[in-house]
Amino acid sequence: MRPPSWTQPTRMSAIVNALIAGRHQRLLRGALWGGIFAALLAIGYGFIVWQVRSHLRGDQHAELGRISAIRTNAVTALQMLQRDATAAPCSADFLAQMQRVAFLPDGLNEFLYAPGGRVECSTSQPKFDPPVPLAPPDIATAKPDDPSWRMDRDLGPLGRFGTIGTIAQLGSFAVAIPPYTRYENESPWLHKELVARGADGKVWSIAGDHGLYGRLAAKLHRSLATRLTTIAASACDGQSHYCVASEADLFGWARDWITILTSTVVLAGLFAWICANNTLAWLNRHWSFEARFQRGLNPQSILVAYQPIIALGSDEVVGVEVLARWLDVDGTIVAPHRFIDIVARSGRTAEFTQLVADRAFAELSTQVPRDVPLEVNFNVFACDFDSVRLLRIFAKFLDEPRRFHPAVELVENHAIDFEEAQCTIEALAAAGVKTYIDDFGTGYSSIERVARLAVHGVKLDRSFAMSPPDSVMGRMLVQVIEMIRTSGRLIVVEGVETLARLNLLRATGMVDCVQGYVVARPLGIDELVTFLSRGRAAWAAHPAAA
């Protein structure tokens, strides 16, 4: 049972249990693999999108560069004609001057002399009689150095039968620009359209997938699936004369790279599996009991229980043994047999004992009535059996000698230096701290220690206290008690669970004190206060004692 004064489990219990429970390992591994694999796929998808967008930007830049070069060449040629064609219009010299410009390696060779928008002659036609009128320009400008443009015009009247082209005019000179032939698109998964734009927003398709620019410019609603599987982008030149609209089909792109993509997905799955196993191993280490204990050993996680000790001569409670517990992160209260070895291995024994002593003092000093003196027994590690260290740990109890009498119970699992131990016992006794040899009859706790060390008392182990009467240890019980009594030490028998065994111990006349379930199980501080207030009636009515 959990004493009511102890902290209850937190709402984090379910989460922590999911991390530390062995039955969840397969599910957790699968979830980790799925999460990591999904993250890798998302990263891969993002990389593909970045690659395709980069390709689109590069392709658009190249396309705009090619069409802009034609425009620049046209403007440059018209400016040269204005400067160099100085002979009489449509004369032989004039036509020769126009031919020199037409011979430039820019792909433009059909130049027109068209004052007022009426073509009088050209590089291919010495004279038009009557002059050929040009319709009003589609794109007009007030800038003197910027030509006007007539888009998608039939060049048949100018001698270019069956040809649709663009006419750029600057002043009295014009140039017929043939259909755009430098459009490039070698990717079946890429759709694009090159357009020219007027100042009023009107658009003329030059090359590519007709209508794509208008569809993307209209920003029509696209489903989530479409947005995830296609990438659309538009770009214009610096003056917004020309624009390119592009739309990439990621499925089509993937088909071109299917072998590499398949290998990458398989490798991503294997990598995710390795990462999932490594992550799970780290989680298991991080959330292992020892790791949780090491991280969580603090004043808030230490709990204590108190097992009353009664004097057989008076049946009164004369002391309590302080028993440490640890509150796990999931709210579970952990018994000491699970963490004592961890404390010893980690070298945190003194820290642990200090935490236990501080917790016990905080509870006992505030809850137990001031007129109830108690001997307060603590188990200490052999490595901490040093008077200076122990007196520092129990200083708070020593500051209230009328209320509390601290005692240490020494459990030895290694051989000890008797001279050093004796010096420590004497120093502790001088300061008011009693020393008991704990768990007598097990391990290194032998009659030699009782005889050679001036301890205050000996605590007889439960293996003697509750051994069946017909067992070897049961038959030795009285003889062991007699040996200890001969040494003059006070005798405390632990683990007494039945009234019959209590009466047997009482009948020897040699046992001073007992503790065990016949008196009370370990109690929380509130239960202890109630137990003390009831006196002998609290334990005499216990079922084990009935």
pLDDT single digits (tens) 11-35: 555 666 666 666 677 888 898 999 9
Q: Are strands 230-236 and 242-249 parallel, antiparallel or unpaired?
A: antiparallel
pLDDT value of position 335: 94
Mean pLDDT estimate for the chain: 87
Tokens, residue 190: 């890429």
* pLDDT on residue 5: 45
* % of the chain residues with pLDDT over 70: 91
Is the pLDDT reported for residue 368 higher than 90?
yes
Asked if 316 and 536 touch (Cβ cutoff 8 Å), the reply is yes
Residue 165: beta bridge partners?
A: 153
Distance from C-alpha of 167 to C-alpha of 302, rounded to nearest angstrom = 91
The rounded distance, in Å, linking the Cα atoms of 379 and 446 is 18
Nearest in space to 530 (alpha carbons), one of 323, 308, 360, 376: 308
Query: What per-residue confidence (pLDDT) applies to 16?
Result: 63
The CA distances from residue 424 to 301, 386, 439, 476, in Å, are: 30, 6, 20, 31
In this predicted structure, which of 133-142, 313-322, 462-471, 503-512 has the lowest mean pLDDT? Answer: 462-471
Query: Closest by alpha carbon to 457, among 481, 427, 422, 492?
Result: 492
3-state secondary structure (DSSP) of residue 61: helix
Q: State percent of the chain over pLDDT 90.
A: 54
Residue 291 has pLDDT above 90, yes or no: yes
Q: Are 351 and 381 in contact (CB under 8 A)?
A: no
More confident residue, 509 or 8: 509
Measured distance CA(93)–CA(168) in Å, rounded: 23
Longest dimension (CA), the chain: 148
Whether the pLDDT of residue 463 is over 50: the answer is: yes
Dihedral, CA of residue 271, residue 275, residue 281 and residue 284, to nearest 10: -140
Task: Decide which of 115 and 25 is more confident.
Answer: 115
Handedness of CA 18, 20, 26, 32 (dihedral sign): positive
Under the banding of pLDDT at 50, 70 and 90, the label for residue 254 is confident
Q: What are 157-172's pLDDT values in tens digits?
A: 888 888 889 999 999 9
Q: Could you give the residue ranges of the DSSP H alpha helices within 218-348?
A: 224-229, 250-256, 258-286, 289-296, 340-346
- Per DSSP bridges, beta strands 302-311 and 121-122 are unpaired
| Full set of structural domains in the chain with CATH | 85-177 (no CATH), 290-530 (3.20.20.450)
Peptide bond into 543 cis (omega under 30): no
> Measuring CA to CA, which residue among 455, 506, 497, 442 is closest to residue 478?
506
Give the strand pairing for 457-460 and 404-410. Answer: unpaired
For residue 274, what are the contacts with CB-CB under 8 A and spacing of at least 6? none
Q: What is the dihedral of CA 275, 276, 281, 287, to 10 degrees?
A: 120
Which residue reads 């006419």 in tokens? 167
Q: In whole angstroms, give the CA distance from residue 543 to residue 499.
A: 9
Q: Which residues pair with 305 in a beta bridge?
A: 323
Q: Is the pLDDT of residue 546 over 50?
A: no
pLDDT given at position 462: 80
The DSSP symbol for 541 reads T
Contact indicator for 376, 338 with CB cutoff of 8 Å: no
Lowest mean pLDDT of 216-230, 436-450, 525-539, name the range: 436-450
* Alpha-carbon span 70 to 107, nearest angstrom: 8
**Stretch 207-218: mean pLDDT:** 88
Give the strands of the sheet with 203-208, arranged side by side.
203-208, 190-197, 242-249, 230-236
- Count of alpha carbons within 13 Å of 498, Cβ hemisphere only? 7
Residue 318 CA neighbour count, 13 Å, CB half: 12
CA gap 475, 458 in Å, rounded: 19
Contacts of 46 by beta carbon, 8 Å cutoff, 6+ apart: none
Q: Which of 177, 112, 170, 176 is nearest to 141 (CA)?
A: 170
Report the range of poorest mean pLDDT among 44-48, 177-181, 519-523.
177-181
Calculated CA dihedral for residues 108, 75, 135, 209, nearest 10 degrees: 70
Q: What is the mean pLDDT of residues 301-324?
A: 95
pTM of the complete model beyond 0.85: no
pLDDT tens track for 346-359? 999 999 999 999 99
The closest of 419, 461, 407, 467 to 439, measured between CA atoms, is 461
Q: What is the H or E stretch that residue 434 is in?
A: strand 434-440
**Section 322-341 average pLDDT:** 93
- DSSP state letters, 507-519: HHS---EE-STTT
Q: Cα separation of 461 and 447, whole Å?
A: 13
Output the pLDDT for position 539. 66
Residue 223: how many CB atoms within 10 A of its CB?
Answer: 8
Q: Using alpha carbons only, how large is the chain's radius of gyration in Å?
A: 49
Separation CA 159–CA 128 (nearest Å): 10
